Amino acid sequence: MRKVIFLDRDGTINIEKSYLHKWEDFEFEKNAIEGLKKLKKLGYEFIVVTNQSGIGRGYYTEDDLIALNNEMMKKLKEYGIEILECFYCPHHKEKGIGKYKVDCDCRKPSPGMLLEGIKKYNVDINNSYMIGDKKGDLEAGEKAGLKSILVLTGYGKNTVKDIEDNYLIANDLLDVTNLVK
């Protein structure tokens, strides 16, 4: 079984930018690469799970997102960091358009993307984590049976006021390495 860290993308791996979908606008969060390198040395593999309602709202396409994720994975690979897969939810039950206007089980805080990753990659949930900057990330991790860690990057500094004490908190992905075993 695999030890995996499930990662939210926007605000966790990269700097939060409204409906980011172009590689030229992508910037890694402070200490993200260093943190991922250290987590890899601790034996973790990585899966990205990201809500992308911008697709459902018609702001950009699934192809735009896939191209951006592929560039991110290519850049991370240059640092020796491999992402097993990037799962994404394009849906939004109120603001989605057409086929994207659905109440799905993949949009965080629902655990659908995580459960799919757990099954597909034979993840050891007792030794794996969900890391993100929003309450929905933490709740999705909890619903999937994972320990969840809030990072204070992205929306994390605002989120910290609204979460229960049962979640671990780290300044950024490098600081996460002090909380995992």
The CATH number for 56's domain is 3.40.50.1000
User: What is the pTM (predicted TM-score) of this model?
Assistant: 0.97
Inside any domain, residue 58: yes
* Position 165 confidence tier, pLDDT thresholds 50, 70, 90: confident
Which residues partner with 86 through β-bridges?
48
Do residues 162 and 135 touch, judged by C-beta distance below 8 A? yes
Report the C-alpha gap between 167 and 144 in whole angstroms. 14
Inside any domain, residue 170: yes
Residues carrying an active site annotation: 8, 10
Listed residue (88, 96, 8) closest to 59, CA to CA: 96
pLDDT for 75 beyond 90: yes
The answer to which of 16-30, 39-53, 154-168 has the lowest mean pLDDT is 154-168
Report the C-alpha gap between 9 and 151 in whole angstroms. 12
Please state the domain count of the chain.
1
Inside any domain, residue 181: no
Inside any domain, residue 1: no
Inside any domain, residue 2: no
* Structural domain of 170: 8-176
